[in-house]
C-alpha cells in the first residue's frame, strides 16, 4: 500500500500525510496540476507500471515514460476505516484499491470520496479527482455519474 507511515513528511496542519517526492514518483504526484492522471508506460512491452519503478517488472526495459490515462476504473477492493489515526482526518473514510480500465492488474491505493462509505461496492465505476496539497496532487476517486443522470 502507498499510504504507509514511511512516506509521511512533516505535514502539521495538513489533513493527510503526503508522499516524499523523488525523481521517480514526482510526475505521478504532480500530474494532477494539469488535471490528468499519468502512469509510467513501458515503450518496450506496452505495459503500464504502478507504483513507479526504474525498470519494467515485465521485461526489465528502462524505456519508461509517463503516459496520460483515462482516470477511470473500478473498485477492486476496499475497507472502511473508522479509527481516527489523525485528528485532522474525518472518519469513517474508504481506503480502496482501484483498478484502472487501461490494464488488468493496474491498481492504485487511494481513497473513495464524494460517496457515503456504506454505498461503496466492489466493482463500482469510479473516476479520478485530485486533491491539491501544494505541489502534491493526490489522486482520489469518486463514483462515475451515470450517463442518464440518476445520481443526486
Other CB atoms within 10 A of residue 141 CB: 28
For Zn ion, give the closer residue by CB, 56 or 98.
Answer: 56
Give the one residue of 59, 91, 122, 145 binding Zn ion; rule: CB under 5 A.
59
Check binding of 53 to Zn ion (CB under 5 A). Answer: no
Other CB atoms within 10 A of residue 83 CB: 8
Residue carrying C-alpha cell 466493482: 123
Please answer whether residues 38 and 68 qualify as being in contact, where contact means their C-beta atoms are separated by less than 8 angstroms: yes
Least distance CB 67 / Zn ion (angstroms): 13
Dihedral sign computed on CA atoms, order 79, 80, 84, 87: positive
Check binding of 42 to Zn ion (CB under 5 A). Answer: yes
Burial 84-110 (b: 16+ CB within 10 A, else e): eeeeeeeeebbebbbbbebbeebbbeb
Give the one residue of 4, 61, 77, 121 binding Zn ion; rule: CB under 5 A.
61
Check binding of 24 to Zn ion (CB under 5 A). Answer: no
Give the one residue of 24, 33, 45, 91 binding Zn ion; rule: CB under 5 A.
45
Check binding of 56 to Zn ion (CB under 5 A). Answer: yes
In angstroms, rounded to a whole number, what is the distance separating the alpha carbons of residues 148 and 58?
40
Check binding of 94 to Zn ion (CB under 5 A). Answer: no
Least distance CB 49 / Zn ion (angstroms): 8
Q: Tell me, by CB under 5 A, how many residues bind Zn ion.
A: 7
Please answer whether residues 99 and 92 qualify as being in contact, where contact means their C-beta atoms are separated by less than 8 angstroms: no
Check binding of 39 to Zn ion (CB under 5 A). Answer: no
Check binding of 68 to Zn ion (CB under 5 A). Answer: no
Binding site for Zn ion (CB under 5 A): 42, 44-45, 56, 58-59, 61
Amino acid at each position: 500500500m502507498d499510504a504507509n507511515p514511511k512516506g509521511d513528511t512533516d505535514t502539521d496542519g495538513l489533513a493527510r500525510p503526503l508522499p516524499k517526492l523523488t525523481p521517480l514518483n514526482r510526475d505521478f504526484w504532480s500530474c494532477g496540476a494539469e488535471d490528468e492522471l499519468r502512469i509510467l508506460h513501458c515503450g518496450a512491452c506496452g505495459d503500464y507500471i504502478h507504483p513507479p519503478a526504474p525498470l519494467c517488472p515485465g521485461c526489465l526495459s528502462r524505456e519508461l515514460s509517463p503516459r496520460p490515462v483515462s482516470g477511470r476504473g473500478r473498485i477492486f477492493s476496499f475497507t472502511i476505516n473508522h479509527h481516527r489515526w489523525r485528528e485532522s482526518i474525518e472518519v469513517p473514510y474508504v481506503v480502496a484499491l482501484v483498478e484502472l480500465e487501461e490494464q488488468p492488474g493496474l491498481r492504485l491505493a487511494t481513497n473513495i470520496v464524494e460517496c457515503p462509505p456504506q454505498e461503496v461496492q466492489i466493482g463500482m465505476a469510479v473516476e479520478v479527482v485530485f486533491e491539491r496539497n501544494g505541489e502534491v496532487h493526490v489522486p482520489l476517486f469518486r463514483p462515475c455519474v451515470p450517463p442518464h443522470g440518476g445520481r443526486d
